[in-house]
Amino acid sequence: MAGPLEGVRVLELAQGTAGPYAGRLFAGLGADVVKVEPPGTGDVSRARGPFAGGREHRETSIPHLYLNAAKRSATLDLTAAEAPSLVRELAGSAHVVLEDLPAADRGRLALSYESLAGARPSIVVASVTHFGLSGRLAGHRGAEVVDQALSGHMAITGEAERGPLQIGGDLAQYVAGQTAFTGALFALYHALGTGEGQQVDCSVVESFADILDGEAILALNGMPRPRLGNHTADGFLRGRGGLYECADGWVALGQTPGGWEAFAEAVGDERLLDPALATPGGRAARKAEVESIVEQWVARHTKLEIYLGSQTRRNVCGFVATPADLLASEHLRAREYFVSVEHPVAGRAESPGAPFRFAGAPWVAGRAPLLGEHNRAVYVELLGMAPAELERLQSAGVM
Amino acid sequence: MAPPWGTADRSLLAGIRVLDLSQIRAGPKTARWLADAGAEVIKIESLKRPDRGGMWIRLDLSKPVPEEAQREWNRTAGLGFDQLHRNKLGLSLDLTTERGKELLERLVRISDVLVENFSAGVMERLGFGYNRLRALRPEIIVLSMPAFGTTGPYRDHVGFGWGLEHQSGITALTGYLGDAPMRTGTITPDPLNGVHGAAAVAAALVQRRLTGRGQFIELAHWESTVALIGEAVLEQSFNGTFAGRLGNRHRVHAPQGCYRCAGGDEWVALTVTSGDEWAGLCRALGRLELASDARFATAAERRAHHDELDAIIGAWMAGRGKHEAMEALQQHGVPAGAVLDNAEALTQEHFRARGFFQTLPHPDGVEFPYMNGPWRFSRTPVGVREPAPLLGEDNEYVLGELLGLSAGEIAELESSGVTARLSTPR
């Protein structure tokens, strides 16, 4: 069965993580995503690494292989004289333009909604930038660690004394990608019904701040959340606690929702079933003793033993999964979550699959395109350029 | 028929009706984005099982929530519940009763989207599995958000954000350099999955507009979150390696870090991702000789001497306020940002100028700020219109106007306990 976005075409003029993750979601759901990259080097992700097999090559960079899978790649030097008209032609064939260009390029290429709408009023232009298209910081430079600092997340992650800590894994950029994808689709839904397109201005810092939800508002009411590190005041004695080191990693101990008795049974130590410990107050009064019993139990068991033993008693004890744990997970494997992708240069590997599953419409796993792999398909077959003209532009370095 | 405050007929999702059966945070976040975009979202809960999702925000706080915020179920004070359920209508309906089920059935027949995050199997036990929903309304879009999905050995496991955060791999990637894993300050999986949920519904709405077909979407929280650290999984698969925890450093770019400034808990984060930015940093620090120092010529060499660079940058930062330091670095083209606490982040001039949040008068007689959503649409308004409803606040509109029940029938439903209303008048 066709993907849910079959028939939708997206022009991706974005690099790095945020814009390309939005494009990846489009491609995974069956849209035709035409990614325009600078000739020679391609998307900055191609140079970032780590590289598959440790072999540094523009086709083997793992961020690129993950973020650009199932897209088509066409090269174009956006500074070339031919670029503005070609970009406009490409945009004219698309429903959505996804872009993260510097302000100067956006102006020179006339890529605003207003300038594209003359040819196609229903077009949706989704702009993904660190700070948005307006405001005092619009000309400032962003980056993952900077975006995390300005969005309020770093201040509350880490320990009080050791200082603010970034969340690992470029999460702010990914959240902006999710957000831009959703905004572009809301606008596309509207455009398909009314013929009216528009510009969606999506900022990484605002996208990441938005997921603070009510916690942020507490701070506005004079109750900022402190940096608590891995531990809460009462830890598992009351409800849920931080991380404890077990035999092969770390677990987060909790007695929610099953309760203390179920937790004590999972630990299997009769001293914890003492009725005097049945209440939070009783446990707090003998905190050192209880913690010592539990920590010794934790240290003797593996994360999966602790996790699964808790689940059989309806308590959550989350375990810290490494990427290797995820790939080995019997649950994720039983659900065929990972997809095996073959790439002509990088080789074969397993990648996370669909973040959400549409009934009867499999996630389009695909592989990342080689740089300029689809120049002919895009310029000749899609735009109707003469093959000789493509040859000329390619030898002139425009593509 | 218009909801009580009227429809924004030019809104993005005008004409879309959503039944929000979800609770706590992830599902409500999905439905909130649909409501912000102009869908008519009906939040359905019951007196027996009210959504206590607004209360999680108290768990780690040493200070009490102010008295005015402690009204019943914590939903009248602009806090967590209010942020997640603003722009929604409130319907109370006891779905364990036959009459409640019958009314839900009638609502399904006139709705476009249903969002739920019950444990796997609950909707089937209530008699509202996808096949039944589809029979009632063939073009309906159903988003089901069980923690681990409806298949696989963990399908019946209990999942909460604070546990799933660790299981998703985010924690393994977060921590001080070479040290233990560290949880995030925000229990991240819930809002991340809420955003993926809205993304999925948006795609299904486009598909429906193109094909006329409805859709069933399963979003397993675990899978949705792992997709956001996919690069680390792919690296493990390709190379058998895992970078572990880098603190505030970057695997490639250097220097990068978070440095203490003058004052108390004041910090600036910066990174250098190119030769130009390195030269800019040297200028900003007033240390032009570093730019030509062979020890720091490439990112690899700067990584090898990172401690030394941290000491130089740290000494410069220590004499400056965080905003002053950030601006000085930015003027030299260095990506740098002050570490803002939540209140500073939301009230920063840049956000205010862009309309990031909006203050609404609340029925309690106070004004509260609401985050307006992370985007600006150039043609159609998106954002906050109404505070969150009290439990059952819109029973009359939904049951009377949408389903055509008489005033007597509505009163009878309430007296028999099928519906309820929070007694607080507004």
Q: Measure in Å the smallest separation between the Cα of A171 and chain B Cα atoms.
A: 7
> In the prediction, which pLDDT does B62 show?
42
How many interchain CB pairs under 8 A, A with B? 515
> In the predicted model, what is the mean pLDDT of residues A167-174?
96
Round the average pLDDT of chain A to a whole number and report it: 94
> In the prediction, which pLDDT does B60 show?
33
Does residue B285 sit at the A interface (CB-CB below 8 Å)? no
Say if CB A288 and CB A243 are below 8 A apart: no
> In the predicted model, what is the mean pLDDT of residues B29-47?
95
Judge whether residue B58 has pLDDT over 70. no
> In the predicted model, what is the mean pLDDT of residues B78-87?
79
Q: In percent, how much of chain A has pLDDT > 70? A: 96
Beta partners for residue A348, in sequence order: A342
Stretch among A224-238, B24-38, B158-172, B409-423 having the lowest mean pLDDT: A224-238
Residues of chain B in contact with residue A306, where contact means CB-CB under 8 angstroms, are: none
Digit-coded pLDDT (tens) for A352-393: 999 999 998 999 999 999 999 999 999 999 999 999 999 999
Model confidence at B1, in pLDDT bands (50, 70, 90)? very low
Does residue B236 sit at the A interface (CB-CB below 8 Å)? yes
Query: Nearest by CB to A318, which of B14, B163, B238?
Result: B163
Model confidence at A220, in pLDDT bands (50, 70, 90)? low
Judge whether residue B396 has pLDDT over 60. yes
d(CA A236, CA A294): 10
Task: Report the half-sphere exposure of A69 (CA within 13 A, side-chain side).
Answer: 29
> In the predicted model, what is the mean pLDDT of residues B303-321?
98
> Global pTM?
0.95
Which residue of chain B comes nearest to A233, CA vs CA?
B60
> In the predicted model, what is the mean pLDDT of residues A221-236?
75
> In the prediction, which pLDDT does B356 show?
87
Q: Which of residues 401-420 of B touch A (CB under 8 A)?
A: none
Model confidence at B79, in pLDDT bands (50, 70, 90)? low
d(CA A218, CA B342): 8
Model confidence at A1, in pLDDT bands (50, 70, 90)? low
Query: Nearest by CB to A319, which of B167, B344, B377?
Result: B167
Does residue B336 sit at the A interface (CB-CB below 8 Å)? yes
* Domain range annotation of chain B: 17-219+353-415, 256-346
d(CA B294, CA A54): 26
d(CA B352, CA B329): 23
> In the predicted model, what is the mean pLDDT of residues A200-217?
88
Contact: B371, A188; criterion CB under 8 Å: no
Residue type, A173: Q
Q: Do domains B17-219+353-415 and B256-346 have the same CATH topology?
A: no
Which residue of chain A comes nearest to B193, CA vs CA?
A355
> In the prediction, which pLDDT does A350 show?
98
Say if CB A250 and CB A321 are below 8 A apart: no
State the angle between helix axes of A171-194 and B189-211 in degrees (0 to 180), rounded to the nearest 10: 20
Judge whether residue B70 has pLDDT over 50. no
Digit-coded pLDDT (tens) for A100-144: 998 888 888 888 888 888 889 999 999 999 999 999 999 999 999
> In the prediction, which pLDDT does B68 show?
46
What is chain B's percent helix, strand, coil content, to nearest 5?
40, 10, 45
Digit-coded pLDDT (tens) for B272-303: 999 999 999 999 999 999 999 999 999 999 99
Buried b / exposed e over B85-121, threshold 16 CB at 10 Å, is: bbbbbbbbbbbebebbbebbebbbeebbbbbbbbbbe
Does residue B46 sit at the A interface (CB-CB below 8 Å)? no
Residue type, B249: R
Residues of chain A in contact with residue B199, where contact means CB-CB under 8 angstroms, are: 25, 178, 181-182, 185, 356
DSSP conformation letters of B318-350: HTS-HHHHHHHHHHTT--EEE---HHHHHH-HH
Contact: B12, A186; criterion CB under 8 Å: yes
> In the predicted model, what is the mean pLDDT of residues B358-379?
81
Model confidence at B29, in pLDDT bands (50, 70, 90)? very high
In CATH, B17-219+353-415 is 3.40.50.10540: yes
Q: Measure in Å the smallest separation between the Cα of A128 and chain B Cα atoms.
A: 10
A384 or B77, which is more confident: A384
CATH number for the domain whose boundaries are B256-346: 3.30.1540.10
Q: In percent, how much of chain A has pLDDT > 90? A: 83
Digit-coded pLDDT (tens) for A268-321: 999 999 999 999 899 999 999 999 999 999 999 999 999 999 999 999 899 999
Stretch among A222-231, B84-93, B212-221 having the lowest mean pLDDT: A222-231
- 3-class state of residue B116 by DSSP: strand
Q: Measure in Å the smallest separation between the Cα of A132 and chain B Cα atoms.
A: 8
* Domain range annotation of chain A: 9-212+336-395, 235-320
Q: ipTM greater than 0.85, yes or no?
A: yes
Beta partners for residue A226, in sequence order: none
Model confidence at B243, in pLDDT bands (50, 70, 90)? very high
> In the prediction, which pLDDT does B4 show?
40
> In the prediction, which pLDDT does B368 show?
73
Digit-coded pLDDT (tens) for A38-78: 999 999 999 999 999 999 999 999 999 999 999 999 999 99
> In the prediction, which pLDDT does B334 show?
98
Q: Measure in Å the smallest separation between the Cα of A43 and chain B Cα atoms.
A: 15
Task: Report the half-sphere exposure of A323 (CA within 13 A, side-chain side).
Answer: 26
> In the prediction, which pLDDT does B24 show?
85
Place of tokens 């001497």: B305
Round the average pLDDT of chain B to a whole number and report it: 89
Digit-coded pLDDT (tens) for B104-135: 999 999 999 999 999 888 999 999 999 999 99
In CATH, A235-320 is 3.40.50.1000: no
Cβ-based burial of B401 (10 A; exposed 0-12, middle 13-18, buried ≥19) = middle
For residue B109, give the nearest of B94, B128, B93, B126 by alpha carbon: B128
Judge whether residue B314 has pLDDT over 70. yes
φ, ψ dihedrals at A217, nearest 5°: -70, -30
> In the prediction, which pLDDT does A122 show?
96
Model confidence at B371, in pLDDT bands (50, 70, 90)? confident
Judge whether residue B55 has pLDDT over 80. no
Does residue B234 sit at the A interface (CB-CB below 8 Å)? yes
Model confidence at A218, in pLDDT bands (50, 70, 90)? low
Give the CATH fold of the A9-212+336-395 domain: Rossmann fold (3.40.50)
> In the prediction, which pLDDT does B389 show?
86
